[in-house]
Each structure stands twice: as structure tokens, then as C-alpha cells.
Copies of this chain bind each other. A is one copy, B any other.
Amino acid sequence: MKLNGTTISDIAARANVSKSTVSRVLNDKSVVNQQTRKVVLEAMESLGYQANAFARSLASGRSMTVGVLTQKIGSPFYDMIMQGVIQGFAGTGYSPLFVDGQWEESTALEVIRAVLGRKVDGMLLLGGDLPEQQLNELKERLPTIVVGKEIPGWENQCVYIDNISAAYDATKHLIDFGHRDIAIIQGIKQHQDAMRRFDGYAKALADAGIELDPGLVLEGDFSAQSGIVGISSLLMRGKSFTAVFCANDMVAYGARLALQRHGIRVPEDVSIVGFDDQGESAYVTPPLTTVRQPGTEMGAAAAAGLVQLMQGKPCVLPTLQAELKCRESVARVLR
């Protein structure tokens, strides 16, 4: 790992060729004499040459960098996606530049500006709620793909799973196990995923001929704390229920804890299903039945698609399926 400031000229001199030729072998595109190429390569090797990415970008107009806007580095689900994104770009020559929008529109706009100043060749938006106009301006300007959200008019530039049918399946699973009084603790209200998960829940109930009881739908914000609050509210009001569908796994953890605090057993007395299948969920007690979102695959698919787009090729994004992981937090209700 030599760490010097060797430039293209140095190696040109060393190899007795012109800068142009060096540049050619560097970019591998145009044809260079086998022998010449070899000499140049050797010169690079011995001088420990490392191309200056800035000079390259400035001259070529391409940065080989893509901006990745996250909403909160550190959230379990987006971490999976980020992993996938990293994997997806590995070996493509593009480097992801992560910036964090912190769930705030103004912050998001600001970091996007910053990243545009770095002349990224493309943009990956992980979740988040940018105003439509900004979104479209972005899309106009450079290849952009959105992960974890469906946006009208962005067909083929969004990677997401069908939250409605995933939530439908989760709820139906509960119904199949004999549950009828199924509570739901929701995610952040304006959040697209949260709304769709509710819709799926409602639809499953409707299809099973179960009337939706507003007293069983609780607000929440994707946090464990909101799971605790949700259960407490239910209990305090004396609502009877045998199952809870949680907006995500963190909410499920909180719900499970609150239940146990009240001496209510999971799954014997109350069943729980979560959403996301974050890493811990297979190991909590009882192991959580939850909807697995293929986060890694989503990230990787988005990255791959973006690379296609940046190379001017059309891109086809796969339709990814969520999958219900049946573990041990759901039991058949005794009748």
C-alpha cells in the first residue's frame, strides 16, 4: 500500500510514453499496443500509482459516485438495505456516498444539494418523503431510484414490496389460527408503509367477515415505546383481544414486554406478529413471527438497477416478495 502522490505524468515519463497513452491504459477503453500497455502497467505498479479521482471526474464529467440518501442510519430495516446497496455496488466501479436526511425534509434537501455538488452520477433514495416537485427535478437531472417506497409516475424506478398484501398475509395468518379480536399498533401516521400495512390488515379482516373495531387500532411510531403504550391503552380500556399485529418488530418487542408486565403470556394468551424480521427477532423469547422484508435484496437490486441507468441502459427492477416467517409468537386460539 504505497501512499504517494504519483501522477499520470510520472508514470508517462517512467514508461517513455505520453500522458494520453497512460490515460488510455487506465481507462481500458481504446486499443493500446500489448507491449506498451505492459510497460505502462509495470510503471504504475512500481510507482504505486493511484489515480486522482477528482482530476478524473473533473475532466470526464463522471464521478463514479452515487449519492445514497438514508433517513436514519442505524434503523434496522434501512441497515439491511444499506448492506444490500454496498454489495450491489461492489465491483461496479461506483462508490456509494451516504448522507443522512434524519427524517427531516429540510435536512434532506440540504444534504442532497451537498451531494449534487459532489457531482454524483446517480441517486438512491432510501425511504423518506421528499416533496413531489423536488423528486421530479431530481429525476430529471440524473438517474434516480427510490427504495422502500412506491411513487406514482416513477414506474420502474422504485424498489419496494407490496406492503398491503404482506400485511394481509400476516393478518390472515392470525385469522387462520382462530383469532378474531386482532389489534394493530400502527407506524408513523403519514408514512406510506404504515398506511398500507393498515390497509392490508383491514382488508384481511373484511375478507374474513370480521368487522374492524376502531377500539383495536392503536397509533404508534415504529418504536418499542409505542408498542408498550399501545398495549397499555388496550389493557386500560379493558378491550379484549387475542392477537396484535405490529407495524414493525420494534413495536412488537415493546408490545411483548408490556404484555408480560401484565402477566399475559405470549403466545398462550396473546399472539404477536411483527414486520421487518430484523436480526434479533429470531432470538427474542419467544422468537417472533414476522414479515420478512428482503432488505438486502432490495438494496442490491436498486444498486444494480441504478448502474444500468447510469450506463444509459434501461433497467428492470425485480418485484420482490415479503415472506411471513412463522416462528413462535403466534398460537392457535382455543375455542
A138 located at the interface, meaning its Cβ lies under 8 Å from any Cβ of chain B in the complex: yes
A268 located at the interface, meaning its Cβ lies under 8 Å from any Cβ of chain B in the complex: no
Task: List the one stretch of A155-163, A249-257, A307-315 in contact with chain B.
Answer: A249-257
Residues in B whose Cβ lies below 8 Å from that of A141: 3
- Contacts A224-B283, A257-B284, A280-B224 hold; do A1 and B134 have CB atoms under 8 A apart? yes
Beta-carbon contacts under 8 Å, A79-122 to B: 79-80, 82-83, 86, 95-100, 109, 112-114, 116-119
Residues in B whose Cβ lies below 8 Å from that of A99: 95
- Contacts A82-B73, A83-B74 hold; do A50 and B113 have CB atoms under 8 A apart? yes
- Chain B, residue nearest A51 (CB): B117
A141 to B55, CA, bound (A): 20
Give the Cβ gap from A138 to chain B, nearest Cβ, in Å: 7
- Chain B, residue nearest A50 (CB): B117
A290 located at the interface, meaning its Cβ lies under 8 Å from any Cβ of chain B in the complex: no
- Chain B, residue nearest A251 (CB): B283
- Chain B, residue nearest A111 (CB): B95
A63 located at the interface, meaning its Cβ lies under 8 Å from any Cβ of chain B in the complex: yes
A282 located at the interface, meaning its Cβ lies under 8 Å from any Cβ of chain B in the complex: yes
A112 to B50, CA, bound (A): 11
A86 to B96, CA, bound (A): 15
Q: Measuring CB to CB, which residues of chain A are less than 8 angstroms from any residue of chain B?
A: 1, 3, 50-55, 57-58, 63, 73-74, 79-80, 82-83, 86, 95-100, 109, 112-114, 116-119, 134, 137-138, 140-141, 224, 227-228, 250, 253-254, 256-257, 260, 279-280, 282-285, 287
Ranked nearest first, the 4 interchain pairs of A and B with the lowest CB-CB distance are: A224-B283, A253-B283, A74-B79, A54-B54
